[in-house]
Amino acid sequence: MASTLASKMGLNSLRRRQARNFNVKIVTVDADLEFSCEVLDQDVPKEEPIILNFLAKFYPENIEEELVQDITQHLFFLQVKKKILEEEVYCPPEASVLLASYAVQAKYGDYDPSVHKPGFLAQEELLPKRVINLYQMTAEMWEERITVCYAEHRGRTRDEAEMEYLKIAQDLEMYGVNYFFIRNKKGTDLLLGVDALGLHIYDPENKLTPKISFPWNEIRNISYSDREFAIKPLDKKADVFKFNSSKLRVNKLILQLCIGNHDLFMRRRRVDSLEVQQMKAQAREEKARKQMERQRLEREKHLREEAERARDELERRLIQLQDEAHMANEALMRSEETADLLAEKAQIAEEEAKLLAQKAAEAEQEMQRIKVTAIRSEEEKRLIEQKMLEAEMLALKMAQESERRAKEADQLKQDLQEARESERRAKHKLLEITSKTPYSAPSLSPSALPPDLSFSTENLSFDFKDTDMKRLSMEIEKEKVEYMEKSKHLQEQLNELKTEIESLKLKERETHLDILHNENTERGTSKQSNFKKVSSPSELSAQPDFTREFCLY
């Protein structure tokens, strides 16, 4: 396979060094070179320096079987990666992230959070710019997603990671396809794609899906005359597909690619030559040797990790034992300090016991004195009991007096009710009399009035019993004073409450009634003042006669 990787692998670092050292224009050669001729004798620019890019001209059909040597695989990996990043080969976004994770595994090895901290991929070119611009994601977000996939590749070597990268890349639609602009017999612009499997005809706007394909095993012959190509299928009944290209150099390249890919296609389906078999056997032996070496290293690594874990466990146990010993020493010191404190407390307790014994003796003496004093106070106790008995008798008398006064109050209420009933009957009688003679004073005899009511035409007065009226007047006056005091206290409470909540009031939510109430309050107008104002004699005089009669009632 090494013979098929003829030319073109990019050396960007060499290009940058030469640009810095010579400060001259760099010329890149993209032409195919012939091994039999000198470079400068071929169709290359004559300016210096000349940058030669060595690239694979013919792509393998099955990467895992055909890329035998590790160096060949690594160079081909770099070529495919470069084409994907430069968007010469279309790669969907999800596949781009996965390929980037394998590229990171191949470069950095296994993921280690302590080493590969956030930002370690900031300077790496891992994704095509088309993918980056397609999403509203920051570089940190892309790095996070690549790192998640990268952590799953633990244990893969560089060769294995590169091989996984190439196995994914070979399934891309544009992998290994060389595109050329052509025209058919009708003059329609088309794209010709040449790869390891055959020839494909594309629409210029769609490089992913071919309109028609000619596998190498179905092509009988490809003829080239002047600038016209003719593809003849094995089926003689099928039409011959003809196309042409405007450039002679491009026609030669197309012919070379067709011949080379067709030859490789046929060779892959034949038994390998002895040389290739030897190379593959050596490659298998090398892979087996590397696998055994890797397994040995894995075992050693595992044993080393086990030893390190055992050492860490012993160190942890040693530290734990040291901590326990330190804690035991501290506990011993605390116990010694506690013993000293207990000794001091025992001495203090002994002294307190002596003091308590002394106080007990003093208390005994005090008890003897109290007993003597108690004997003397027996007589005083009898006197106190006598006074208590007198107080109880006085309280009984006061309770009886209170009961008597309560009965009197009930009698007064009953008398007041009877007086009001008599007044009502008198008023009713008077109303009947006045209704019969509305314009002349009635001439009533004292015998026509109730027994407890006397009527005088001069002053129109009602006389009750003097004792009842005086008592009734006193009760009414007392209730009036109490009511005035309660009203004053209530008004003060209302004013205080209004002052407290005034700052929290929302003026815009006041109703019409709230506004009227505030205006009345500012004018000092209340329900009682309105009632007095309406009931004043000056206003009553303006009313008709029947209103005055009603007010009299």
**What are φ and ψ of residue 360, in 5° steps?**
-65, -40
> Which among 55, 53, 41, 39 has a CA at the least distance from the CA of 4?
55
Q: Is residue 308 part of a domain?
A: yes
- Has residue 248 been placed in a domain? yes
Residues 283 and 430 reside in one and the same domain: yes
| 244 plus 357 within the same structural domain | no
Contacts 24+ apart (CB under 8 A), 283-288: 283/68, 283/69, 286/70
Asked whether residue 418 falls in the same domain as residue 292, the answer is yes
**201 secondary structure, DSSP code:** E
The pLDDT of residue 487? 65
Dihedral over alpha carbons 172, 175, 179, 185 (to 10 degrees): -60
Same domain membership, residue 423 and residue 370: yes
Residue 344 CA to residue 350 CA, distance in Å, equals 10
Residue 422 lies inside a defined structural domain of this protein: yes
What's the pLDDT at 483? Answer: 64
- In this prediction, residue 527 carries a pLDDT of 47
- Map tokens 């001091």 to a residue: 344
Distance of CA 3 to the CA centre of its chain: 60
pLDDT for the residue numbered 542:
40
Query: Last residue of some domain: 380, 409, 434?
Result: 434
pLDDT for position 287:
81
Residues 6 or more apart whose CB falls under 8 angstroms from that of 491 comprise none
DSSP 3-state assignment of 395? helix
Mark whether 422 and 281 lie in a shared domain.
Answer: yes
CA distance 154 to 190: 46
**54 within domain boundaries:** no
Domain count, the chain: 2
Residue 498: name the closest of 514, 480, 487 by CA.
514
Which one of 407, 434, 461 terminates a domain?
434
Does 280 share its domain with 423?
A: yes
Cα distances (Å, whole numbers) of residue 300 to 55, 110, 304: 40, 17, 6
Give the β-pairing of 198-202 and 189-194.
antiparallel
Instruction: Give pLDDT, residue 33.
Output: 72
Could you tell me if 213 and 356 lie in one domain? no
How high is the mean pLDDT in each 10-residue block of the chain (553 residues)? 35 36 36 74 75 84 87 93 93 93 93 90 91 89 92 90 94 93 88 93 92 90 82 84 83 89 89 81 83 84 89 93 92 90 90 90 87 78 78 79 80 81 81 62 42 41 51 69 68 64 60 68 61 43 37 32
Same domain? For 429 and 280 the reply is yes
Task: Classify residue 55 as left (phi > 0), alpha (psi -120 to 50) or beta.
Answer: beta
Are 244 and 386 within one domain?
Answer: no
Alpha-carbon distance 96 to 312, whole Å? 41
Q: Is residue 324 part of a domain?
A: yes
On whether residue 56 sits in a domain, the answer given is: no
- Within this chain, do residues 393 and 351 fall inside the same structural domain, yes or no? yes
Full DSSP string of 242-297 = EEE-S-HHHHHHHHHHHHHHHHHHHHHTSPPPHHHHHHHHHHHHHHHHHHHHHHHH
Range of the domain at 281: 276-434
Question: Which 8-state DSSP code applies to residue 448?
Answer: G
CATH number at residue 248: 2.30.29.30
Residue 188, in any domain of the structure: yes
Phi-psi region of 8 (alpha: psi -120 to 50; beta: other; left: phi over 0): left
Strand order in the sheet with 198-202: 212-215, 198-202, 189-194, 178-184, 241-244, 228-233, 219-225
Cis ω before 49 (30° cut-off from 0)? yes
Could you tell me if 236 and 385 lie in one domain? Answer: no
Domain final position from 413, 434, 455: 434
Decide if 290 is inside a domain: yes
280 & 238 share domain:
no
